[in-house]
Chains A and B, each alone.
Chain A
Amino acid sequence: MSWEDGAEDRAESLRRIKESAAQARYDFKRGWKIYRRSLLAVIGLLMVISISVVSIFADDIAVEHPGRNLQDTRDVWHIDYEPRKAAPFSEECDTRYQKVSLTELRRWDANGTNALSPTRVADNNLFYYDILVVTEFIELQNRNGVTLASDLVTLESSNNSYFWISDELIENNSVTQIKLVYKFENDAMHHWWLPDGYDVCIFGTNDEGQDLFSKILYGSRVSLTIGFTVATLTVIIGTIIGSISGYFGGRVDEVIMRITDIFFAVPGLILALAFVAALQAVDNFTIPLALAFLAPIIALAFYARSNIIEVFMPGSEGTSFSKLNPLIILGIGSGVLLLIILFDAYRFWHGIFELRDTRFWRLLLSFLAIFIIAGLLTLDKRLIDNFTTDGFSNRALNVFDWKNPYRYLSFRTLVIFVASIALFSWSGNSENEIVIIDNFDRLWKIQIALVFTGWPGYARLIRGQVLYVKEMTFVEAARSVGAPSGRIMFRHILPNAWAPLLVAFTLDIGGTILSASGLSFIGLGAEPGAAEWGKLVSDGRAHFPQDYWLVLFPGLAIAYTTLGFNLLGDGLRDVVDPKNRR
């Protein structure tokens, strides 16, 4: 078969793609018509869009990076550290208290000091201070906060950054430290969307003098990332498990449903708590090398309609592992796992795959894996049937034969080969494990915990959908023409069962943001000082209820985002509701 022979097929598939695009456009228009009927849904959509835009442009809207601190009162002399909270809409944001140690001045024989910014770390990792331009000198205090005569300190008229301290103060040895209160020109703190002169910190500052507004803006990135990652992963896992359960039914279904029962029996948050605790000592997320080595081989073995079977079981034409009862596969798999875990076969197991931590061994192993995978692929009946010539060498050559319509298939195999070489030989540096997530920080842990606790809900949802769609005539038709289970599942059932999934996905983003912030609030989520909303609320708790804004605004941000996604999901529910399909 040559490339030209397939021209008709390709034209046909292009036509189908165009047709389905037109259908999608029509569906979208009709869906939007239903969606915009509900004012709440439109508001929800706007809320989601606004929070997404905010998270994308956080760098431009925020006035300071969450790691930096413009009002930090740590000063040059390292006397002590007195953070300052400012209330929302106060203009204190560009006022600064600066402590000056007179003893230090005396030692350096100086009688003046610059108005300086807090410490900053430059690109070369050195500390430095910006010299601030003072707009107004407010007052002078002694170290106990008592106001002194302000003429003891004068602002240099030619240089608005330099204070002259009078001889009277310098020579009075009983005064060791003074405090300067001044306003400075704070362009960095100015929001571009506020009129000139309104250099206010709109949400106030926290106990370290950091701008709360900026922190909340950056927090939206964390929350949205967690929401989307967790919801996506849960949907994938839940869909796979739920559709297996619904499609195969019987004992498989029974076992999976009992497992979800167990998950439902423990409140999600307590389960997530326990799981985060269990992950506490894990620094990076790795999988055992043995698993990575075996997984693709096992997967391919199940997937391939292999010639091996025909060799060993003549007469069983077209049998494959994938046609075996999934319960048997499940049983064998879990049996092996149980044996390994329960009877300390783990050590023995470990011994088999004990490898030296050298690249040579990794490479050797990867080539071994590739040979086995390639062998399985070569023996794959489906692929061989599609070629005029058998054999590995020809298949390899076909990859570079641009006239061959099946080259993409071969190309994919080649990509898998290369990827597995890369995975085996260059990833990670621990002895027997492959690193999946290098920096497995606490945010990752809560994400994994939420995925772990979230999938049963989806599994049940999808199971119900699959049970419903399974009975429809088109599925029966597909089965009667001999379509394999996988194809029926992914091509016929799931595309018709996605609608409630989309709604659940949207609602789940909101729910995840809520749970993640709850975990952070308890102290298991984000690292201390991180710009995460739940963490901000829990940081603000120490100053509650006097400085209520530290709790109010981050909480409002959580509520706003969650409400947005929930309203969006509610609107989508109306769109996908069969009652509205006319």
Chain B
Amino acid sequence: MKTGEFIVRRILLLIPVMIGVTVFTFAIAQIIPADPAAILCGERCGLVDPVTGKTMLELQRERLGLNEPVIVQFKLYIENLLAGDWGESTTYNRPTSDVVRDAAPVTLEMALFALLMGYPIGITLGILSAVWQDQVFDHISRFLAIAFVSLPIFWLAMMLQLIFGTGPEVGGICDPIFGTEGGCLPIYGRHDAALTYPDRTSNLCDTAITGIACYPSWYPSGGTGFHLVDSWFVTDEALANIHPDYASNSKLFNDTLVHLVLPSFTLGIASAGSLLRYMRASLLEVMNEDYVRTARAKGLSESRVIIVHACRNALVPILTILGFSIGGAIGGAVLTESIFAFYGMGNVAVDAIINLDYSVLMGVTLITAIIFLMSNLIVDLLYGVVDPRVRLE
């Protein structure tokens, strides 16, 4: 099978799943015990329109197509979805697509950075564990692998906050070591407080009113939403008149980075745990292969055999887990975001459920599914590049 054909086939396979996910989100919205029409017209529901003689509630229902059979509603939903109209958020009074577009990069940035932190830990421990199989280190790291996935992520987040973000009088360990005051790592938000809400009085960041559009004032209008990227590319001129302490973008970048450390580490730990096991198993399997024996027979040093010959091949199957890890990290972000005050999809989803904001809930479910499927697609394509045998299937 040619590469192009392989890619097309992989993408075509996504279509039924995508349709299934839209059916799914639609079904959830149908079951949720909220009348979107009643929420939209609010107090004016009882008012009677003099022209048609119908109440506002009835008009609203007609406008949303709620009186139609379910199949027609579904058709309407799909049409709107394709046209970019994801509905109106009743909590934030903004279009759902805007809410989701603002929230997705926050979670994605956190999740990707988490994998960036978790993967080296997991892979290193996994390799060492396989090399020293059945020795003390192996037992310890296998225990760690199980322990990492057993820790409740929200609890781990708070414990890390306690250890790294507080002074010694509460339980922090940083101050005596690094000479800092009140902990060495920030525990809330994506930026220093001075930077995040420069115009707090203008209600720009009041989530109750504008949703999660909590842009720092340096935020470029065409930004990606990934603050690590945006702060790297923002010009010094744009920054100069905001805060004298952060007049250069390297400082801003550092600030963003430091704020990402704890949330990402929390998320990364869980993926490191499962990765460690996979890496260990994969490497142990590869070590029994003929080419490893050949490499040894050639008289190569053991470290060269492991690093060059075994690890390179052992890492290939690990690639498949990458796609799943992103899904797992996004799921975990639901729990950590509220603790670290990141206004990403997790916080939005929880808000939507508490307020029965069904369109946002549908949007978040849909966008997580899209992200997950896309990341799996990319991983699959990468896999096809790394291991050409896959394409033959």
Contact = CB atoms under 8 A, between A and B. Distances in A.
Given A275-B28, A545-B166, A265 B21 contact: yes
Contacts of B32: 277-278, 280
Contact of B24 (A40, A266, A269, A570): A266
| Chain A CB within 10 A, most for which of B152, B161, B171, B338 | B152
Contacts of A40: 139, 142-143, 146
Given A269-B334, A278-B28, A518-B335, A559 B69 contact: no
B331 A261 contact: no
26 contacts: A39-B139, A262-B20, A266-B365, A267-B330, A267-B334, A269-B335, A270-B349, A271-B365, A273-B334, A273-B350, A278-B28, A281-B33, A342-B71, A523-B354, A534-B152, A537-B155, A537-B158, A548-B162, A551-B158, A551-B162, A554-B155, A555-B154, A559-B155, A562-B150, A563-B146, A570-B146
Contact of A342 (B70, B147, B155, B365): B70
A518 B153 contact: yes
Contacts of A562: 150-152
6 nearest A-B residue pairs (beta carbon): A555-B155, A267-B331, A281-B33, A262-B20, A278-B31, A562-B150
Contacts of B170: 545-546, 548
Interface string A529-559: 0000010010001001110100110110011
B28 A274 contact: yes
A514 interface: yes
Contacts of B330: 267, 270
A362 to B, nearest CB: 28
A566 B274 CA distance: 12
Looking at chain B, what size class is its interface with the partner chain?
A: 35 or more
B139 A343 contact: no
Given A280-B33, A342-B71, A514-B152, A524 B368 contact: no
B24 A262 contact: yes
| Chain B CB within 10 A, most for which of A262, A554, A570 | A262
Contact of A522 (B71, B143, B150, B335): B335
A341 B69 CA distance: 9
Contact of A258 (B16, B151, B368): B16
A268 interface: yes
Nearest to A346: B70
Interface of B: 16-17, 20-21, 24, 28, 31-33, 69-71, 139, 142-143, 146-147, 149-156, 158-159, 161-162, 165-166, 170-171, 327-328, 330-332, 334-335, 338-339, 345, 349-350, 352-354, 356, 361, 364-365, 368-369, 372-373
A563 B151 CA distance: 8
Contact of B353 (A258, A274, A552, A554): A274
Contacts of B156: 555
Contacts of A271: 365
Contact of A559 (B71, B151, B364): B151
Contact of A269 (B20, B28, B150, B331): B331
B171 to A, nearest CB: 6
Contacts of B335: 269, 518, 521-522
B146 A517 contact: no
A548 B353 contact: no
Contacts, number: 158
A342 B30 CA distance: 12
B155 A277 contact: no
A259 interface: yes
| Chain A CB within 10 A, most for which of B28, B154, B158, B161 | B154
Interface in A247-294: 258-259, 261-262, 264-271, 273-282
A103 to B, nearest CB: 40
A270 B370 CA distance: 13
Nearest to B357: A277
B148 to A, nearest CB: 10
B161 A545 contact: yes
B158 A555 contact: yes
Nearest to B68: A344
A377 interface: no
Contacts of B28: 274-275, 277-278
Given A264-B327, A566-B146, A566-B150, 5 more contacts: A524-B353, A534-B152, A534-B154, A563-B147, A563-B150
A548 B297 CA distance: 57
A523 B350 CA distance: 9
A265 B151 contact: no
Contacts of B166: 545
A558 B152 contact: yes
A259 B345 CA distance: 24
Contacts of A275: 28
B368 A267 contact: yes
B154 A521 contact: yes
A510 B146 CA distance: 11
A343 B72 CA distance: 9
B365 A344 contact: no
Contacts of B334: 267, 269-270, 273, 518, 522
A567 interface: yes
B360 to A, nearest CB: 11
B365 A537 contact: no
Contacts of B17: 258, 261-262, 265
A19 B146 CA distance: 38
A343 B159 contact: no
Nearest to A562: B150
A275 B33 CA distance: 11
B353 A277 contact: yes
Contacts of A261: 17, 20
Contacts of B368: 266-267, 270
Nearest to B70: A342
B24 to A, nearest CB: 6
A139 B361 CA distance: 56
Contacts of B139: 39-40
A544 B188 CA distance: 13
B356 A280 contact: yes
A240 B308 CA distance: 45
Contacts of B345: 270
B123 to A, nearest CB: 20
Given A273-B334, A342-B71, A545-B170, A265 B152 contact: no
